[in-house]
Amino acid sequence: IGDLLQRCGRMPLPPYIKREPIREDRTWYQTVFARVEGAIASPTASLHFTEGLLASLRARGIFLVTVTLHVGPGTFQPVRESRIENHRMEEEWIEVSAEAADAIKQAKVNGARIVAVGTTVVRTLEAASLTDSVVRPMRGRTELFIIPGYRFHAVDALMTNFHLPRTTLLMLVSALTGVERLRAVYREAIGARYRLYSYGDAMLII
């Protein structure tokens, strides 16, 4: 089936990209971290990374850990509930290996900061640390919906793109930054004509 999809399928670009997919999208809309098929969209914060940049980070002593989250169709669904806590988050498949969990735990013990690249990584690590605030190996589905007021257990900082209004992704980011701070960030980005969404610019929240 995978071979058939590769031959006949088209890259599933987000609906706000108002053009037909082209051959180059198979490279442009794929990350250097991608190993396991299953997502319906790219974790777009990772699109900013190249093999050369990863090598540079490693040379500076930055330890890289990878996890898996298969982005589902719910990532594009706006929140229509008048009270956001009533929104039902669609399940997504996540995997955190024992090696990844151990590396994150050791980094925490050493006082290092855990910088998530993308909201997918945030959701994965937070779902894997709900039991006792320590990231544990996990392989399964999560419905975790992160909104303002959520207490983070695993993630200290976040690199992410600029997200669509009324989406769960934007709410996750605002849970980390605070609503007013995020509004100020978006005003700055719009005023400076940053590119938004999947093929756009990114911000680092520290």
Q: What is the pLDDT of residues 132-160, one digit of tens each?
A: 889 999 999 999 999 999 999 999 999 99
Whether residue 194 contacts residue 161, with contact meaning beta carbons closer than 8 Å, is answered with: no
pLDDT at res. 14: 76
pLDDT tier at 169, thresholds 50, 70, 90: very high
Residue 8, pLDDT > 80, answer no
pLDDT tier at 127, thresholds 50, 70, 90: very high
Q: What is the pLDDT of residues 49-101, one digit of tens each?
A: 999 999 999 999 999 999 999 998 887 788 898 898 899 889 999 999 999 99
pLDDT tier at 206, thresholds 50, 70, 90: very high
pLDDT at res. 34: 86
Range 53-84 burial, b when 16+ CB lie within 10 A, else e = eeeeeeeeeeeebebbbbbbebbbeebeeeee
Domain range annotation of the chain: 2-205
| Tally of CA atoms within 13 A in the half-sphere of 21 that contains its CB | 14
DSSP state of 184: H
CATH number for domain 2-205, candidates 3.50.50.60, 3.40.50.280, 3.40.1780.10, 3.90.1150.10: 3.40.1780.10
Does this model's pTM top 0.85? My answer is yes
* Burial class (CB within 10 angstroms; exposed 0-12, middle 13-18, buried 19+) of 3: exposed
pLDDT at res. 193: 95
pLDDT at res. 6: 72
